[in-house]
Amino acid sequence: MHLWFISVACTANPTKYTEYTRTVGLDSGGPEAGDTEIRPDDTGLSDTETGDPPVDTDSNDEVTPPGFPSFSVEDVDGTQVRFQFEYTGNVLGGHLVVAAEGREFRFLIPDELETFSPTAGSALWNLPPCSGGDFFHFSAFIEDRRGGTTSTRDGNITISGWGETIESAGVDSSDDFESWGDGIRIGNVPKGGLICGDMYGAGHSGSSYNADIDFIEFRAADTDTYVINLEWLAENSDYDIDIWTQSFEFLGGSYVDSTTPPESFTINLVDGEPYILRVAGWAGQGGFYQIRMQ
């Protein structure tokens, strides 16, 4: 089992923008335009034919570094955040670079942005599962297509909703409750809450599970009818879920013989009462799963 702490690390400020300039010297001492008089030191060339390569006067233009007036973060729906920013200068072909979870995420401008205008843009980033209630710190900068960068700007946000990632909830090679002490207790779970976990393996011996089983004790935050959905990522795998009282009285569950999630069932829960969820892999392989309490 893995415990996932959602943390956000900021990278060090990138190198300041490097200006790209090139100055070409022009000879201002030549004859006036149109003067074709032959001088005593005649070279055989007219005054407008020097024999030197032509001067590219356009290359004297200076590249303007991009500006980064503002950056903000918006919670979209508890599963995504929106980065909104303003800019100046030419940023086409460059990137919006955002530091999150100790990594840098690069959004190509404008192809990988959600919206883009002559002065502003936005991008969407998918949050890690079970991010509800978590605090995130982001750092961002703009990089132009030549590699020049602006200074960084920061944005903070607390994600809406409720989420919990479980740890050490597994019981090896057992489909009974003898080892319930190895389970995890997570407290009150509101309607709309999300519980995340990780199976190390899946399998059965004909009539019982013989791989990873997770026991999760929780209390309902409301007296209501809940729809409990179990979803998993492992391909060609079949997971099951059921719910029990604290004294191990069976209340309900879902055991569809299918490798296509979700497993789902409906149950009435009472505010403050303790319940035990059991998640088990029947076939296939281990991997990430999540339980939605709707």
pLDDT of the chain, 294 residues: tens digit per residue: 343 433 333 333 343 333 333 333 334 344 444 443 333 444 454 444 445 444 444 444 456 779 999 999 999 988 899 999 999 999 999 999 999 888 899 999 999 999 999 999 999 999 888 888 999 999 999 999 998 899 999 999 999 988 888 765 444 444 455 555 557 888 899 998 999 988 889 999 888 888 888 889 999 999 999 999 999 989 999 999 999 998 889 999 999 999 999 999 999 999 999 999 999 999 999 999 999 998
Q: How confident is the model at residue 62, as a pLDDT?
A: 58
Q: Which amino acid is at 142?
A: I
What local confidence, expressed as pLDDT, does residue 10 receive?
Answer: 37
Residue with token string 């719910």:
243
First-to-last C-alpha distance (Å) of the chain: 25
State how beta strands 103-108 and 95-100 pair. Answer: antiparallel
Q: What are phi and psi of 279, to 5 degrees?
A: -115, 130
Which of 13, 7, 8 lies closest to 97, judged by CA?
Answer: 13
CA distance 261 to 49: 79
Residue with tokens 């946000």: 157
Burial of 267 (0-12, 13-18, 19+ CB in 10 A): middle
Query: Structure pTM?
Result: 0.64
Segment holding 171, helix H or strand E:
strand 170-172
Q: What is the pLDDT of residue 79?
A: 87
For 86, phi and psi rounded to 5 degrees? -115, 155
Tell me what pLDDT residue 14 has: 40
Quote the Cα angle for 79-80-82, to 5°.
160
CA atoms within 13 A on the CB side of 103: 5
Any residues with CB less than 8 A from the CB of 36 and at least 6 apart, and which? Answer: 46, 47
* Phi, psi dihedral angles at 92 (to 5 degrees): -60, 135
Query: What pLDDT shows up at residue 180?
Result: 57
Q: What pLDDT is stored for residue 3 in this prediction?
A: 37
Token representation of residue 86: 């303003």
Q: Are 225 and 274 in contact (CB under 8 A)?
A: no
**Which residues, including other chains, have CB under 8 Å from residue 286's CB and lie 6 or more apart?**
198, 199, 200, 201, 202, 211, 212, 234
Query: Residue 216 corresponds to which tokens in the numbers above?
Result: 């999760």
Mean pLDDT of the chain: 79
* DSSP category for residue 58: G
